[in-house]
Amino acid sequence: GGKVVKAQIIYLTGFMGSGKTTIGEGLGKALGVTVVDTDKWIEEKEGKAIRELFSEKGEGFFRDLETEALQSISQTPQIITTGGGIILREDNVSIMKEKGIVINLKCEVEEIFQRLAGDQSRPLLQNKNKKEIETMYLERKKHYEQSADIIFDTSGKSIRKIIQELK
């Protein structure tokens, strides 16, 4: 029999500020494939910013939409960049594993702090100090690791180098 090559979706996961969006876009250009971001998909569907969705409808409502995004986005070949909390639901992890390959962008917490300083767009970072963000990072670490097919360490690497290596 002939070989059946299943078109794979690449999912990029990682903590807020780990570079998913930037790396996803660069990788999409380099590979000539479509890039879809779950946060953007949700914002477009609802006509509201993530920040507004959290404050008006709550986190649970947003998390349901994340699952809906993963179920709905199916065009291939493509790269899907995800929100940092996508790995919190077992269902989401199952969908990603079934449809493609999950690459976790691992990043040191210090680098994340530097990138996220002053960010206003992420509801889960508002009113949190460094210690609290670090706690969240450590709580999620195992979820990122367990759900990943590949863990890619981005620490100290330029975007260009990262894309070169992933490509």
Applying CB under 6 A, the residues found at the interface with ligand S3P are 16, 20, 39, 50, 83-85, 122-124
Judge whether 89 is annotated as a binding position.
no
CB of 166 to ligand S3P, least distance (A): 18
Contact in structure between 82 and 38 (CB atoms under 8 Å): yes
Q: Which residue is nearest to ligand S3P (CB)?
A: 83
CA distance 40 to 22: 13
Cα angle value 16/37/128 (rounded, 5°): 20
CB of 106 to ligand S3P, least distance (A): 14
Judge whether 122 is annotated as a binding position.
yes
Contact in structure between 77 and 9 (CB atoms under 8 Å): yes
Given the complex with ligand S3P, which of 32 and 110 has the nearer CB atom? 110
Residue 60: both structure tokens together: 């649970």
CA distances from 14 to 40, 46, 104, 109 (A): 16, 24, 5, 11
Judge whether 82 is annotated as a binding position.
no
Given the complex with ligand S3P, which of 99 and 143 has the nearer CB atom? 143
Given the complex with ligand S3P, which of 3 and 53 has the nearer CB atom? 53
Judge whether 149 is annotated as a binding position.
no
Given the complex with ligand S3P, which of 63 and 97 has the nearer CB atom? 63
Contact in structure between 96 and 152 (CB atoms under 8 Å): no
Bridge partners for 36 per DSSP = 80
The alpha carbon of 16 is separated from its chain's Cα centroid by a whole number of angstroms, namely: 8
CB of 121 to ligand S3P, least distance (A): 7
Judge whether 135 is annotated as a binding position.
no
CB of 71 to ligand S3P, least distance (A): 16
Residue ranges of the binding site: 17-22, 39, 63, 84, 122, 140
